[in-house]
Amino acid sequence: MLKQTGKYFLKSLYGLCVVVMLCGFDTTRHSIPIDDIYDGGPGKDGIPAILKPQFISAEEADKTLLKKDDRVLGYVHNGHARAYPIKILNWHEIVNDRVGGTSLVVTYCPLCGTGMVFDAQVKGRNLTFGVSGLLYQSDMLLYDHQTKSLWSQIKSEAVTGHLTGSRLKLLSSTHTNWASWKSKHPKTKVLSDNTGYQRDYDRDPYQGYETSERLMFGVSTKSRKYHPKEKVIGIELGKVTKAYAFSELSKVDSPVKDVLGKIPVQIFYDGNTRTAVIRNKNNRELPSVVGFWFAWYVFHPETRIFSAR
């Protein structure tokens, strides 16, 4: 009886913790089990999203902010180029921006290595986003300020709240180093470290995480095909998903030609800058996801895998 009482007490305590953790978010509807949502630690807005980003020129970034090998998430729209330094995204994870007339949400999950840019318009309404402090499958959950729905970054959709099931449109972006991005886009604007917050942007709060096999939070399924943190570029075309590990791409000449669901694609990989992009037959860059192998796999366990052999 005592054991049973203790069991029910722990279950009730866990349930109470879940309720407290989700306080402030709309969970009246949900497409994932609530019990699979984990507290990442900082709490709601404990990691502050950037709502009013400031930008500097490439020349100023060279002098005050970036070294040539620093990583950036690059985006271009209507002739306007932006570079979002990973060293800033590590501390803020979300940038609400507007580029070339389009409202964007720029997201980066350090635990998954995934930088993804989305159109922030959903059902004709421009949304703004904050950092919930919650995780699903070790990946960040965003929340929108307008409805308090929670959104899975890698799933690219709302998983709780009024907007459950609504999708965010993934846009093409490039993970590369500063020197490479600047050479291709010399007039790029760069997210400034004048964020309004006191952070040591030259310090990596996740130092050592990328090379370790250890995950900070559990996931429901794993594959030992590659090191958990192996960098891959993954793409979803229709019902077909496929991952191209950087270690495989480094063994073959670029570009790699492939066909996904009858759609011909080319995967370009530069080993010097560790940059991968996927283009269609018209040389248009397709939306893709660069991140850690474990993260791509847990959200796409049915994924096809490119092999250099």
- Written as six digits, the tokens of 202 are 């030259």
- Quote the tokens at residue 238: 């229709």
Residues 166, 123: Cα–Cα separation, whole Å: 8
Which region, left, alpha or beta, applies to residue 71 given φ > 0 means left and ψ of -120 to 50 means alpha? Answer: beta
Structure-model confidence comparison of residues 4 and 25, the more confident one = 25
| Model confidence pLDDT, tens digit, residues 155-178 | 999 999 999 999 999 999 999 999
Domain boundaries, the chain: 11-191, 221-305
Asked whether the predicted pLDDT for residue 18 surpasses 90, the reply is no
pLDDT in tens, 110-158: 999 999 999 999 999 999 999 999 999 999 999 999 999 999 999 999 9
Task: Report the phi/psi class of residue 264: left, alpha or beta, with left for phi > 0 and alpha for psi in -120 to 50.
Answer: beta
Q: Taking the model in full, what pTM does it have?
A: 0.92
In 3D space, the residue among 115, 111, 83, 122 whose CA is nearest the CA of residue 99 turns out to be 83
SS3 of residue 61 by DSSP: helix
* Residue 192 backbone phi and psi in degrees, to 5: -80, 155
User: Could you give the count of Cα atoms lying within 13 Å of 166 in the half-sphere of its Cβ?
Assistant: 23
Any idea which of 37-41, 103-107, 243-247, 269-273 has the lowest mean pLDDT?
37-41
Report whether 109 contacts 91 (CB < 8 A).
no
What digits encode the pLDDT tens for the residues 77-91?
999 999 999 999 999
Chain segment 271-298, per-residue pLDDT in tens: 999 999 999 999 999 999 999 999 999 9
